[in-house]
Amino acid sequence: MVAVYIFIFGLALLAAGLLGILRPLRVFEQWKRLISHRFFFLHGALLIALGLPLTCNNHSVTGHIIFTIGIIVVFTGPFILLYATRVRQLFLTTTAEMNPVSIRRMIYFDAGVRIAVGALFVINYFF
């Protein structure tokens, strides 16, 4: 069951990464809307809930990598829960000073990481 969850999560990450490559400025606007929302702190709880099943998969080499990714995701959640306003301020002040080329590069980097992790999750399902 965890393998199916990781597979579906991998497909979602691949789709999100592809969307980031195709429409980087639209994805950036969605980031700003998410971070500016008053319930942004709940994103931390979501990270904990979504990352916890990833820590149950450490039966192979790719499983150990997924376990590590899961630990990073789970431990990131409390920081957003507790310091949501600081994360929001940091993001908004940093991106306000960035030019559109830098924003595109940031989104492309994020999309590349999402695609790489998503591909790892999908590959793990078949091996």
How many Cβ atoms are within 10 Å of 123's Cβ, its own excluded?
A: 12
Whole domain around residue 32: which residue ranges?
Answer: 2-126
What is the model's pLDDT at position 15?
A: 98
Please, are residues 51 and 45 in contact by the beta-carbon 8 Å criterion? no
Give the integer Cα–Cα distance in Å for 55 and 92: 31
What is the model's pLDDT at position 13?
A: 98
What is the model's pLDDT at position 4?
A: 95
pLDDT tens digits along 39-95: 999 999 999 999 999 999 877 888 999 999 999 999 999 999 999 999 999 999 999
**Number of independent structural domains in the chain:** 1
Compute the mean pLDDT over every residue in the chain, rounded to the nearest whole number.
95
CA angle 26, 90, 111 (to 5 degrees): 35
